[in-house]
Structure 1
Amino acid sequence: MVIEWLTFAVAPEHRETFIRVDHEIWTAALSQYPGFISKEVWISPDLSDQVIAVIRWHTRDQWKAIPQADLEQIDQRFQATLGAPYRLIDAREYQVRRYPSP
């Protein structure tokens, strides 16, 4: 399993709208692609200007197989619907490693 970890800077007054629109557009779109497992959105009471998205994929190849044109189209819909500024401040990738118990 691969984790896509995205951290966004969002004005506190737009955070709930960002989360709702993200679910309606990004989560709905990504869930249609092979390899998508789940997505969670994390917020911290101490960092009201940040939103973290944690997306789980079966494999990196499946995640990276999403056409760039599709991602751009989804992002354009998201930006137009959100109507508020935000920026991606961190993007990371993790592999989930599990070892058998002794």
Structure 2
Amino acid sequence: MVIEFLKFKVDPNLRENYIQKDAEIWTAALAEYPGFLGKEVWINPDDPTEVIFLIRWTTLELLQAIPTSDAEKIEQRFAQAVGHTHELVQSGVYQVQELSQSA
């Protein structure tokens, strides 16, 4: 499994709408692609501008198989819905390492 990590700075007054529109547009669209396992939204209680998305994928290859043109169209729909209320401040993809339990 891989984790796509996305950290955004969002206007705190618009945060709830931003999260709702993300679920309606981005999460719904990603759910249509093979390999999508789910998404978590993390809110920082000490920084109301910080929103983190953790998106789980079965493999890196399936994440990377999403056509760039599809992602651009989804982002255009999202930007129309929320405007310029957010800024991507950090992103990365991480491999989940399973730990073995010794008896």
**Shared fold per TM-score greater than 0.5:** yes
CA distance in 2, matches of 1:54, 1:99: 20
Percent identity (aligned): 49
Tell me which residue corresponds to 1:66.
66
Aligned to 2:11: 11
- Runs of at least 5 residues in structure 2 that lack an aligned partner in the other structure: none
Per the TM alignment, residue 99 of structure 1 is displaced from its structure 2 partner at its CA by: 3.1
Provide the alpha-carbon RMSD of the alignment.
Answer: 0.8
Deviations 1:38-58 (A, max 9, x none): 001100111100110000000
Higher strand share: 1
TM-score computed with the length of structure 1 as normaliser: 0.96
1:84, CA displacement in angstroms? Answer: 4.1
Partner of 2:95: 95
Counterpart CA distance in 2 for 1:12 and 1:38 is: 25
CA contact (8 A) 1:14 1:84 kept: no
Aligned residues: 102
Which position in structure 2 is the counterpart of 1:30? 30
Q: How does 1:21-60 map to 2 (within 5 A)?
A: 21-60=21-60
* SS in structure 1 at match of 2:51: strand
TM-score w.r.t. structure 2 length? 0.95
- Tell me the amino acid that sits aligned with residue 59 of structure 2: T
Rounded Cα–Cα distance in structure 1 between residues aligned with 2:15 and 2:85 = 11
Amino acid at match of 2:79: Q
Question: Are 1:78 and 2:78 counterparts?
Answer: yes
